[in-house]
Amino acid sequence: MTSLIARYRERQAAPAETSFELRRWLFYGMAASIVGLALTAGITMWPFAAVALVVLWFGQRYAGTHCEEPNPKVKRRIFVLLHVAFVYMLVGIGAGLPYPQGQMAMLGMALISWEMINRGNMYTGWLFVLANLHATATLSRGLLFFCPLLVAAGCFLAFMWTVEKLDAAEAGYKTIAQPNPTQTTSNRWWLKFGGMAFAVAVIVFVLMPRLTGFPIVPPFTLRIPMQGGPQGQIINPAVPLVQVEGVSQGTSEYYHGFDSRLDLSYRGGLSTATMMYVRSPARSYWRSHAYDFYDGRSWIQSGGDAVEIVEKPVTEVSFRLTEDVPLGAQFTQTFYVVNDLPNIAFVGGTPVELFIPAEQIAIDSTGGIRLAETLDAGMTYSVRSTVPTFNRDLLRLTGRDYPLDIREKYLQLPPTVSQRTADLATELSADHDNAFDKVKAIEAHLLTTYPYDFFPPPQKPNSDSVDQFLFVDQTGYCEHYVSAMVVMLRTQGIPARLVSGFGSGRYDRINNLFEVRALDAHSWVEVYFPGYGWVPFEPTPGWDGTPQVEGLGRSVLSGFAGGLNLPAIPFGTVASAITAGLSLVMAPLIIIVLVVGLFFGLRWIWQKYQTYMDNLPPAYTSLQEDSTPSRSQVLRHYRRVQRKRKAVRQPEQTTHEHAAEHEHFDELADLVDIAAYRPEPPTAEELEKLKN
């Protein structure tokens, strides 16, 4: 610690950096990061970016001109302004303003630029640039970020180039002027270097191993947690299409699968609006919940709104969804909600831990996670999951000893199910003696026999939806395929259920994001296998992807090393323990820090007061031991008047010399002399003059 303090002091004592060339490159780099953040975050950020750029410009100019004799007042003002910006950020988070952290980052960097006195400070400035670029990278959804990134990188290299030049001069090297100066060679060199470095970067990008991550979560969330307790009812904020006689040709963001009831007679397309982005090292379907009860026309959850409430312990930063974490690889997904979504937490794989700003969540009977509020645009949450692995051969060996509760719930069939549906299922599975092959046979039949159609004919009254799909319309959308498969499996005594959620979405390799649009809303089948649990299957044709979790193979080496089977980063567990530990000690730590800060703050104020008193003209300091109130009253008044009239008496002046230079001090000077030197303190009559 001592050496750290010594190094800090040494750094503070480093010579002032007077090179404006260096400051220019740093300014450009900082400006690029601010503009990049504003470009990425949107129009709401531009006013803050403009303010930050102006502050930055003046800051660098001030630091450059005053670096050898910085004004301590400016330092204090910057300190105060930084805290104002921080408070603004906290208020912004509470008020739901867009990206208050980003605004704080921009303004903070601009304010810090006033303090960039020496070269060490300037390197710190580049770390701020990096932090801003990271914030921008997190928000980036396209390729536009590449422009500010390249500009900032170029400025950084130019900065280093200039540092090299200055270092040589400081080391005593004498620069020899070139006889015929030209920029051509230098420009060509930069072009060659840029081209070659970029080529190497591309190769490195392709080859770079990418490991699965563990979410870095602060020990306390800066977001205001969701209010209220979670409820069993699903609230879908999207507006359903108005249907005329059950028919509609339009599209919307409303997916009827994100509701308490899934009506198979619903017709309508889904828009291409982006609903959320998912950052994940693995491709997966993003599951919401499942339906177990089929009534011939719709699916519902038999348990109704019954849910199990899970509370987050005070000492934890996340919800532990299961005590027995399944073995196998783990991966973490982070969901960035773009469009309002239902009060359901979407998850990939088998979730074991949920990081979300909430105090309570609820889990329904099918494993769906319900929240107290809908997922509003701007919400971010993370889920850590295990990757379920299924071995076909082992699944084939499973028996039919289903638990009673599984049999009761997931073999249910309504009387509307036709015999021909059961016959078709029997026919398809007749050649197979185990459940897995029967499932695959029915899945293959659905995948290859029926064309996909968003707008099949309307559901006929008093008809069974599955029967109409299989034998009448012979076309439909995913819920029809899934319903048909679940019903056919149940006729064969195999427990199955319909699951809704989103497909993987489009993968963007650069941003490492899955863009999930409204039309990625989807349903699929889960089949129960004793000893393994629920295994997903996909009977819908033309659907891109598979419900099984699979590694992305995002680089050559990650595929070589086995993709998701790469060892988990060891400090994942450590980070978890640290965050948990920090959570435990955070409250008392904050109190201790506040108390200590208050103590030192008061001490600092007291010292300042003492210094102020010590610097007062000698005539008054000599009176400090005499605490006669009337004397102190006169002297305080004298000081106040001096401050008010901006006519401070110099130490070498007597009160009357001072009064001779300034108006309105004559009588007061007499009184001050009385208070200072007369053995008797000022009388009440004399004090009365003060009021006049």
Partner 1 sequence: MPTKRFYRLLLLIIILWMFANQTQVGWLYVIVSLLVGTVVMSWFLNRRGIHSISAVREIDYRESYSEGESLEIDLHLDSSSPLATQQLRLDELCPVADPEEEQFLQHWYIPNLSIERFNINYTIELYKRGIFEFPAVEMTSRFPFGIFERSNYSENLVADSGLSILVYPEVRPLARLPLLDRQPSAQMVQPRAGMGNEFLSLRQYRYGDSPRHIHWRSVARTGRLVSKEFVDETLPGMALVIARNSVGVDATGDQLDSPNQLTFRWRRPVPEELEYGQSKHTPFETAVKIAASLGDYALRRGHPLMIVDEDAPRGAVTADMLLQYLARVELKEELTFAEQIGRIQQTYVAAVLSHPTQKEIDELHRLSQRGHEILAVCIHDGREKGCNQQLYLLPTDDERIEVHQINIGEDWTDIIGGAA
Should residue 223 be labelled a site residue for partner 1 when binding is judged by CB under 8 A?
no
20-41 and 146-170 helices, crossing angle to 10°: 170
Tell me which residues in 334-373 interact with partner 1 (CB under 8 A).
Answer: 334
User: Nearest approach, Cβ of 603 to partner 1 (angstroms)?
Assistant: 37
Strand partners, 279: 334
In 3D space, the residue among 542, 232, 525, 490 whose CA is nearest the CA of residue 361 turns out to be 232
Should residue 184 be labelled a site residue for partner 1 when binding is judged by CB under 8 A?
yes
Options 33, 103, 301, 332; binder of partner 1; rule CB under 8 A: 332
Tell me which residues in 502-531 interact with partner 1 (CB under 8 A).
Answer: 508-513
Phi, psi of 58 (to 5 degrees): -65, -35
Per CB under 8 A, the segment of 95-103, 240-248, 277-285, 535-543 that binds partner 1 is: 277-285
Options 72, 179, 461, 570; binder of partner 1; rule CB under 8 A: 179
User: Nearest approach, Cβ of 260 to partner 1 (angstroms)?
Assistant: 33
CA distances from 583 to 313, 569, 576, 589 (A): 10, 22, 10, 10
Options 20, 58, 79, 205; binder of partner 1; rule CB under 8 A: 205
Per CB under 8 A, the segment of 141-149, 246-254, 400-408, 540-548 that binds partner 1 is: 141-149
Q: What is the CA radius of gyration of the chain?
A: 36
Q: Which is nearer to partner 1, 333 or 468 (CB)?
A: 333
User: Distance between CA atoms of 471 and 483, rounded to whole angstroms?
Assistant: 14
- DSSP-based three-state secondary structure for 377: coil
User: Nearest approach, Cβ of 175 to partner 1 (angstroms)?
Assistant: 5
Per CB under 8 A, the segment of 97-105, 130-138, 255-263, 353-361 that binds partner 1 is: 130-138
Should residue 202 be labelled a site residue for partner 1 when binding is judged by CB under 8 A?
yes
Options 66, 165, 320, 662; binder of partner 1; rule CB under 8 A: 165
Options 114, 214, 254, 529; binder of partner 1; rule CB under 8 A: 214
E-only strand ranges, 244-367: 251-252, 261-263, 269-270, 274-279, 282-283, 286-291, 293-294, 298-300, 307-311, 319-320, 330-337, 344-345, 350-355, 360-364
User: Distance between CA atoms of 366 and 486, rounded to whole angstroms?
Assistant: 15
Q: Which is nearer to partner 1, 211 or 447 (CB)?
A: 211
User: Nearest approach, Cβ of 507 to partner 1 (angstroms)?
Assistant: 10
- Binding-residue pattern over the window 637 to 676 for partner 1, x denoting contact by CB under 8 A: ----------------------------------------
304, 545 contact by CB (below 8 A): no
Options 2, 180, 611, 615; binder of partner 1; rule CB under 8 A: 180
Mention every residue, 6+ apart, whose C-beta is less than 8 A from residue 685.
Answer: none
User: Nearest approach, Cβ of 569 to partner 1 (angstroms)?
Assistant: 6
Options 5, 43, 171, 327; binder of partner 1; rule CB under 8 A: 171
User: Distance between CA atoms of 638 and 290, rounded to whole angstroms?
Assistant: 81
Specify the pairing of strand 550-551 against strand 533-537: unpaired
User: Nearest approach, Cβ of 108 to partner 1 (angstroms)?
Assistant: 20
382, 332 contact by CB (below 8 A): yes
Options 101, 124, 138, 389; binder of partner 1; rule CB under 8 A: 138
Options 212, 288, 468, 576; binder of partner 1; rule CB under 8 A: 212
Tell me which residues in 556-575 interact with partner 1 (CB under 8 A).
Answer: 569
List alpha helices for 70-118, DSSP H: 72-95, 100-112
User: Nearest approach, Cβ of 204 to partner 1 (angstroms)?
Assistant: 4
399, 358 contact by CB (below 8 A): no
Strand partners, 270: 252
CA distances from 369 to 262, 345, 471, 500 (A): 17, 5, 36, 13
Specify the pairing of strand 269-270 against strand 251-252: parallel
User: Nearest approach, Cβ of 580 to partner 1 (angstroms)?
Assistant: 17
CA distances from 30 to 21, 49, 216, 269, 501 (A): 14, 11, 26, 46, 42
User: Distance between CA atoms of 580 and 574, rounded to whole angstroms?
Assistant: 10
- DSSP-based three-state secondary structure for 523: strand
Per CB under 8 A, the segment of 9-17, 278-286, 462-470, 654-662 that binds partner 1 is: 278-286
The DSSP call for residue 470 is: I
Binding-site size, partner 1 (CB under 8 A):
66
Look up residue 414 and give its two tokens. 């309504």
Should residue 178 be labelled a site residue for partner 1 when binding is judged by CB under 8 A?
yes
User: Nearest approach, Cβ of 332 to partner 1 (angstroms)?
Assistant: 7
Per CB under 8 A, the segment of 137-145, 355-363, 435-443, 491-499 that binds partner 1 is: 137-145
Residues that bind partner 1 (CB under 8 A): 133-134, 136-138, 140, 145-146, 149, 153, 157, 160-161, 163-165, 167-169, 171-176, 178-182, 184-186, 188-189, 192-193, 196-202, 204-205, 208, 210-216, 279-281, 332, 334, 508-513, 569
